[in-house]
Structure 1
Amino acid sequence: MKKIYTTICMLTLAIAASAQLTLNKPATKVATDITSSGFTANWGAVPNSDGYCVFVYDRKKVTADGEVTIADEDFSGITFGSIIEPAGGEEEYVDLSAYRYAETYGWSAYAFPNYIASMVAGLIYSPYMDLRGNDGKYKIIISAYCTNGDEIRVESHGDKGKEIKTAKAVVAGGTTGITDVEFEFDNGCKDLFFSVINNTAKDGSPDYFDRIQVKQTLKKGDVVNYMVGGNDAVDAVNEDTNDSITSCRIQTPSRYTTSKVLYYDCYASAADWTTPNGSMPYTFVVSPFTDLVKVDLTNRTSEVFNPETDGIQNIASAGDASDCNVWYNLAGQRVSNPSKGLFIHNGKKIVLK
């Protein structure tokens, strides 16, 4: 986002098939080593995979028809910096949640972000979000400290690929201040993320985001998956022992939720070197998600969760991974030959090593 990354091993894979590689759905396995504050997520090895991406959720049932807040981040963990003397600007990429600048999981910032108290300037990335409800329709509300007429840009990576929308900020009095800018999208899917930036910010002018909300109209009984943890870069094989890696430790999810009942799933990924993709010598491939696994931290039990009884209604089917040869860096610029670093491809955040 999300804000959440898949590892691609750049070593050539010995895959003999001439057709594009397909990855099997990882076998779902229950959690082990469960404590009151964490657990080990497990899954079955997928042949020819390079890595795995794990998602951990707190699931909440909607109690009445109406608009539901899916995400609400106000960056209240930023307690330093001022308009006269902003802080930051030294790091190109910052995991805002890991630094505790964001109070919810998975937020990050790119382009040497700056800070003032409770606000951040730069290219902001959201966590991954499950927005399949309401046929994928949702809204993003951005509270920006900016100049009247500034253009706020949102780039959403969802069910229909990348979708970009812009809107002009209208500040009371036509000067400078905090104002809300609202966007509506209909590309919601299981693992959507988006980025936000002030397109017209100038040196010396305010360019900060104060709050970002995501809302969706849902029905009573619908279930919302709130992401509260994960591991987006699990290698498939231990390079030292050559053993398959089919587990990862999930620590302190309680930082982002008070729930003691959590859920996780994962998918496998690989670089298919037998199928070049345009200028790239391989095609990036992902598997279907595993079934959900339920973990009870209080009773220290785990079980495979039956998706037919999970209570989610109005689910829009998640789109299959596209094979288009389009890569972007975190600044949103198209990249012809990505090498090492963080990139976006087919709606996924990718780490190339």
Structure 2
Amino acid sequence: MITPQEALQRTIEHREVFHDEMLHIVRLIMSGECSPVMMAALITGLRVKKETIGEITAAAQVMREVSTKVPVTDTTNLVDIVGTGGDGSHTFNISTCSMFVAAAAGAKVSKHGGRSVSSKSGSADVLESLGVNINLKPEQIARSIEQVGIGFMFAPNHHPAMKNVAPVRKELGIKTIFNILGPLTNPAGAPNILMGVFHPDLVGIQVRALQRLGTEHAMVVYGRDGMDEISLGAATMVGELKDGEIREYELHPEDFGFAMSSNRALRVETPEQSKAMLLGVLDNQAGPALDIVLLNAGAALYAANVVDSVAAGVDRSRAAIASGAAKAKLAELVRASATV
């Protein structure tokens, strides 16, 4: 079997580390059998070479293998809404807010997230500030998904093997393959996903990795203004996987009746500001924050197969906020996370 040194040599020569070899190398990294120096060299080498779909798929398979799973029995309409982060836009937690709206409109959301790495407020940070207990056991999360339609999986609790990688990632301070693996490894095995990515090349790469990993319905999105969400400030590139087929196209905010608007209006400095903006959306306060959540929650409902188009999803989302159902979901999740 390939050694870490041989794999490193391969990356330096800009050659691929093949699927079975990559499985072996990532298992060595995850089990702590790979020294920090070698680990740093390998993940930097892969990044410089540019990770292939095969390498990413193999690494995601290993991460799924060693993760702590959430035992969800019925995965109908189950969706993850997740971004790779690292888009540098410092916006409020759009995907977290969209989660409440999508759940109120009929999807089940198993959201997989962590604390802020590069943003001002990670999904775990803002949920904690809203009073949600983010440290539930896998069985409790499964019950929360069943009862409330939302389960939040705090990434460090589900990826204990990442403790070997965390100090190396932190010290390197660059984006590595692990930034793009997190969103591919939903511990509840959600068959559907709305995934935002931080680079246009990742749209085609991640949607093909999801295809190989057996995802049913996926939308991988990149806002051309640099956002890892469906954007109001520019067209959004989409890679959609449905019924085994991949389509690539663009979404435009004006197609859904939204005014184009710069993401500057969505920026926050602290989790408190993010919380205030999120609550404003759930209170149906008009403005770009509400519009971008309607657009992303609408896409999540489409990805979850609750509706048959993003436009229909936007309408369902609008109704869920206007009726107060989305805000009620937040209260329900806070209650359930304290009692399940």
Would you say same fold, with TM above 0.5? no
**What TM-score does the superposition give when structure 2 sets the normalisation length?**
0.30
Higher helix share: 2
Higher strand share: 1
Between the two structures, name the one with larger relative contact order (CA 8 Å, sep ≥ 6). 1
